[in-house]
Structure formats: C-alpha cells, structure tokens
Amino acid sequence: MRALVLGTGGMIGDAVARVLTARGIETFGASRAGPLGSYDGWCGVRADRADPKSVRALLDAHAIDVLVDVVAYAPAETARLLTVIDGRVAQYVLISSLDVYRNYGLLHGLETGVPDPGLLDENAPLRSRLFPYRGSTRRPPGDPLAWLDEYDKIPVEDAVCRMANAWTILRLPMVYGPGDRQRRFRWAIEPMLAGAGRIDVAPAWLAWTTTYGFVDNVAAAVALVVGHVQAFGVTFNVVDTPPMSHRLWLDHLRAVTGWRGVLRFNRTALLPVPGVVTTLNLTVPLAVSGQRLVDHLSYVPPMDVPTALARTVAAERFQGL
C-alpha cells in the first residue's frame, strides 16, 4: 500500500507520515516547500494543494492508494481538489475538527441556546453558523490570517461525503505536543519550569472542560483508518484522553514537572488563547466521545497522559520558553 499525506511540514502531517511509515506503508509527504527525498523514513515530494492537477500528478506518478488530507480548510478549494482526484484513490481520509459541533459555536458566541449535555458523539448537532472565524468584514489579501475567512470543516465534510470513492472523516481535538505552534500548555508549563511560587488563573478557565489530543496518539488514530475497510464511509471523533478540566490538566503537569507552587484564582487573568479568538463562553464544555473509533477499530492510544505531557514539557524546555 502507498499513502500520500497532503500537508506535511507541520506537526500533524509529519507525525502521520512517521506513523504510517513505521507501520510498513510506503509513504509520501507533500507540501509546497517541504524537504524533498527521504525524511524520517518517508519521501518528501512537492505539490500545491491549490493546484489540483499537481496533486493528481503525484497520485499517478507514485501509484497512491490512500490520500490523507491534513490541510483541507477551505470548502471551495477542497471541492476543486475532490473533483480532480475522486475515483483515483482507494480511500480519501479527511482530517476534520471538533469545531464542527454546535457546542463550539456556543463556546465562541456564534450561536444562542443551551449547550448539548454530556459527551458529544459523531451524531451530536453541528454548528448552524458557517465560517466561524469570518468577521463582518474580510481580512485584506495580504493578511497572514486571511485564510481563516474561508475556513470551515462542515461544508468540507459535506463535499467528502458525496465522493464516489471510499472516504473516512476524522474529527480531531486540539492537538498538543512537540511541534505545537500554539503551545497550548505553555500557560502552565512556563511558570512551573521557572519555579514560580504561584500561577494566576481565571477560575472559568480552570473549570472549563474540553478535549485535547497528543500528537502521536492522534497520528496513530489516523494511521489506523488508512486502508481499513471498516473505516470506509465512517466519521470518527479522535479522543485519546477522556475530556477533563484545565484544573485536572494542571494537576497532571504539576506531577510531571514537580512544581510545588500554588494556584491563585484571578478573575482578571488573561485567557491563554490565540489572538483570533475574541470571546469564549467557558460555561460551554467541548467534551467529546471517541467511543466509535474504539468500537469499530479497537483504537488504543500508544501514549498515556504522563508520558505525553513529559514529552511536551521537554519540548517547551528545549524551546527555551
């Protein structure tokens, strides 16, 4: 079997390519400017996803069986790609996101209503408002975040479900670990490694329950569905750790780092979220169930929480905080 990972050069794409290679699948990783030739056991190639013909040429040149699309962000661009490659591969694997769910819209103040309770499975209600990061006015073309105006996984998923060939959709949580450009746990790791006597945290942030996934565990889930007939035509949530509050994540980090300081509740403390996020209703959980992946394919994450966080802490230390 041969697989092409469309979107290497980033944390998730590279991790998926490594795991596929480790499982004996001949793997090619495509990006516009990534390394060429052998790279961590897989072969780096060049393609521009915005040019579907360049992707199709790779599929033909390397007799690709499975295409794993890590960077399917914009519906219009993805529709053009699917039109060109549909029927050419045995399986198309879409890397989607938990941001499709209605609770995500409520979390960001995009919708009104009562949050859906309990763990969200793959049949939970989706957002009714599309393009969650598009404001009242479009970003100028030169803005490095202009691509967010066109981002939405819901119409991308809809297009994938209309494909003629086999497909699989994986909805990923917030992914952390070495290579995480957002450095999702830096807010806790940095003061812990610095030996701070206390950490100021907004109570709402500490109490918020959400779903994270360690990069290697996420990559293992992606590799698991590749070529697996029982994954054809199925959408899966990827959950390697039961959803828990930031308070519990902080307790895990305390154990990994040996931090002995204290927490101080501070309602005015800034939330450690990306700049594109303007408001968050932290009374809305983003707690998701990954049971379908376990039931269908016996998914078992290869790394437990302490190991995953130890590797994350080591990466933060290496970056010099």
CATH code assigned at 230: 3.40.50.720
First vs last Cα of the chain: how many Å apart?
Answer: 41
Residue 132 domain flag? yes
φ/ψ (deg, to 5) at 21: -65, -40
Q: For 164-192, what is the mean pLDDT? A: 95
| 135 inside domain | yes
Q: Average the pLDDT over each of 103-112, 174-183, 197-206, 263-272 and give the range with the smallest value.
A: 263-272
Q: Is residue 15 part of a domain?
A: no
Question: Residue 216 in contact with residue 206, Cβ under 8 Å?
Answer: no
From its phi and psi, is residue 199 left (phi > 0), alpha (psi between -120 and 50) or beta?
A: beta
Please give the pLDDT value at position 184. Answer: 94
- Give the pLDDT confidence of 248-288 residue by residue, as tens digits: 999 999 999 999 999 999 988 888 887 656 689 999 999 99
Flag whether 257 is in a domain: no
Confidence of residue 65 (pLDDT cuts 50, 70, 90): very high
User: Does 148 reside within a domain?
Assistant: yes
Domain count, the chain: 1
- The answer to whether residue 312 sits within a structural domain is no
How many percent of the chain have pLDDT more than 70? 97
Distance CA 214, CA 240 (A): 7
What tens digit of pLDDT does each residue of 83-120 get? 999 999 999 999 999 999 999 999 999 999 999 989 99
| Separation between Cα atoms, residue 257 and residue 317, nearest integer Å | 11
Higher pLDDT, 34 or 295: 295
**Residue-level pLDDT at 281:** 94
Where in the sequence is the domain holding 236, given as residue range(s)? 72-181+212-241+288-303
Per-range mean pLDDT, top range of 35-49, 135-149, 283-297: 283-297
Query: Is the residue at 119 inside a domain?
Result: yes
With a cut of 60, say whether residue 321 has pLDDT above it. Answer: no
Question: Looking at residues 9-37, what average pLDDT do you find?
Answer: 90
Inform me whether the pLDDT recorded for 215 exceeds 90. yes
> Is the pLDDT score of 219 beyond 80?
yes
Would 34 be classed as within a structural domain? no
